A and B are shown apart, each in its own frame.
Chain A
Amino acid sequence: MLLSVKELRTWFELKRWGFLRAGFVKAVDGMTFQVKLGEAVTVVGESGSGKTTLLRTILGLAQPVSGEIVFDGRKMDGQNREDLAWLRSNVGFVQQDPYGALAPFMTVRRILNEPLIINKVDESEQEQRIRGVLEEVRLIPVEDFLPKFPHMLSGGQQQRLVIARAMILRPKLIVADEPVSMLDASVRVEVLELIGRIQKAHNLSVIYITHDLSSVRYFSERVFIVYAAKMVEKTDVREVVRKPLHPYTQALLNAIPDPEPENATRFRDIPPGEPPSLINPPTGCRFHPRCPHIIKGLCDVDEPPEFEPTPGHFVECWLYK
């Protein structure tokens, strides 16, 4: 197991008034999951569901209030600087907005060199590594790209450069936060295929964070569905499309259209309302105010534990008790 996350809670405290505590934004509230070496998983959720905070907590950019993160056999507490440096050199981060993630005043060479300098990679090796990753992400001929600035690259090329930077320290895990949402349809698949190829070639683990299940389903094996800071369903990618169990997952799949002419006359079956506030989430199951299958007196009172109706398919919903 490369990464094991247990009962992770990341809360952000609201502004305090004197001695009074105003409360917390519970962005991640008890998530448990594991990622094997060489496996690609997808975390699917809406904006504000806590998926980015989860990722930031894994990267050590946010402090959890409780829970446990074990990466490659080492327990991370987010305090020890040495541990953090080691973790960050082993986890590559692919940001959502490639242009925003690249320093506009640095050339491609400088952007890729920076992590090598910080991590004290031998100078004789640096040039070779830079060329290696650029070839790997197909920014070729390498000579042409090295002196360029980010604004001279197209969106797809910028994203490939971000991937190259994430790869340059030879990490064991890549986390990609909506890696293709800013790109056009025709280049999305190219970028996803690239990450997939790198994953296979180096036996990496990849965590995709996305709100669009259809784009990553061919590039990951397992999927975790997140709703209001909880991981409500965990299963195989094929299984979730074939037989979604949690009512939220079902609604999510209903909401994603395939390009078909019939859609123009078809109304989608979508629960009304909006996701709850993470400051004061509803009692019991967090989806119960919108759920079409609510069991009165149970769903709105008790928080559902994790059930496993079929092996390897986990769901936090009372319907499967």
Chain B
Amino acid sequence: MKPQTTPVTGKPADSTTKDGPLLKVEDIRLYFRATNGVVRAVEDVSFQLRSGRSLAVIGESGCGKTSLARAILRLLPRNVDTYTGRVFLNGTDVMQFSDERFRRDVRWVKISMVSQAAMNSLNPVLKVGLQVAEPLLLDHRASKQEAMARAEEVFRIVGVPPAFLDRYAFELSGGMRQRAIIAMALVANPVLVILDEPTSALDVLTQANIMNALKRIRKELGLSFIFITHDIATSSDLADEVICMYAGQLVEQSNAEVFYREALHPYSRKLMASVPTLRVEKKPEFITGEPPSLLNPPQGCRFAARCPQRFERCQEEPPLFIRKDAAVKCWLYE
């Protein structure tokens, strides 16, 4: 097949949507087939992200955070049941792209990802530098020299000495390996990087060092991040905006200032109250009960069964109510 030459985001689209959102996700739905039914991992999630902003996605395990990231990047397993919705990148609906075009023009080139525990997935028999440069070598995006030069550049950006390009993964410490993985995500100069629990396998000090590095990278390169984490305290390190997910749905999207000071959705509030703080004397609380099964989620609001503020209205499913600096999926904000 003759390769198409149109770039992902053509120049006109770029210039006309300068003030538009970098990423606009509309009604993303991702269901998986399982032996005992259909798992509704992500259900009708919509949000926008402006260029240069950073978005934290928080929620407990199994709430659909990682599935959302995979849906955006179209990194899907084989047992997908339903996969619908629209993803606009700089105004272009990339969901319309063929798999081949998406792979060549969007994934890793425009949107890249640092997966959970990716530091353990480096190839043990290849030098780290080559692995970092690899995305550039695919599809002949660059010559080997250019690619290695770029790898050296991104190594410097993430704070790894360039000498490490010639080492193997086992010669690097955990923190250095994670930095190399971040370098790999940056190598093709993407506009958006999805970080899925980038530091959860690391030590406290190493984690703080990597978060510092990510903040610096963001400032220097003007990148946008989607930062997925279950660690609410760490999420504030890289958040202009926060999305809180519960049982496959987006329950709140707020400005960081609003979210961390006074979250709106009852679930977000309870979640915030369960975070232990070091400097403020505040005994953490817990949420009774468990999240519903995604095989057969309850009618109406999914948090209703555990919600202290539930009332009759909660039997119906609430829409997303838009307020200043926030969007909340709760009848209290009608």
Contact = CB atoms under 8 A, between A and B. Distances in A.
Contact of B230 (A185, A212, A218): A185
A295 interface: no
B212 A268 contact: yes
B286 A189 contact: yes
Contacts of B100: none
Given A211-B204, A256-B204, A185 B274 contact: yes
B212 A257 contact: no
Contacts of A255: 204-205, 207-208
A138 to B, nearest CB: 11
A217 B278 CA distance: 8
Interface size class of A (residues with CB under 8 A): 35 or more
Interface string A179-192: 00000111111100
A241 B279 contact: yes
Contacts of A187: 286-287
Interface in B66-95: none
A47 B203 contact: yes
B204 A257 contact: no
Interface string B193-221: 00000000001111111011001100000
Contacts of B231: 185
B256 A264 contact: yes
B54 interface: yes
B254 to A, nearest CB: 10
Contact of B240 (A218, A260, A264): A264
B236 interface: yes
A253 B284 CA distance: 18
A185 B232 contact: yes
By CB atoms of chain B within 10 A, which of A47, A215, A259, A268 has the most?
A259
B173 A274 contact: yes
Nearest to B306: A186
A288 to B, nearest CB: 16
A190 B236 contact: no
A206 B240 CA distance: 40
A178 B230 CA distance: 17
Nearest to B56: A264
Interface size class of B (residues with CB under 8 A): 35 or more
B261 interface: yes
Interface string B255-291: 0110111000000001110111111100111111010
A184 B60 contact: yes
Contacts of A34: none
A154 B60 contact: no
A104 to B, nearest CB: 18
Contacts of A283: none
A264 B240 CA distance: 7
B171 to A, nearest CB: 13
Interface in B34-82: 54, 60-61
Q: Which 4 A-B pairs have the closest CB atoms?
A: A255-B208, A190-B286, A184-B60, A46-B203
Interface of B: 54, 60-61, 173, 175, 203-209, 211-212, 215-216, 230-240, 256-257, 259-261, 270-272, 274-280, 283-288, 290
22 contacts: A46-B203, A47-B203, A185-B232, A185-B275, A187-B286, A189-B285, A189-B286, A190-B286, A211-B203, A255-B205, A255-B208, A257-B236, A257-B237, A258-B278, A258-B280, A259-B235, A259-B277, A261-B236, A261-B259, A263-B237, A264-B215, A267-B215
Given A46-B205, A186-B274, A258-B279, 20 more contacts: A184-B60, A186-B287, A190-B286, A217-B276, A217-B278, A255-B204, A256-B204, A257-B233, A259-B236, A259-B260, A259-B272, A260-B260, A261-B257, A261-B260, A261-B261, A264-B237, A264-B239, A268-B208, A270-B209, A270-B212
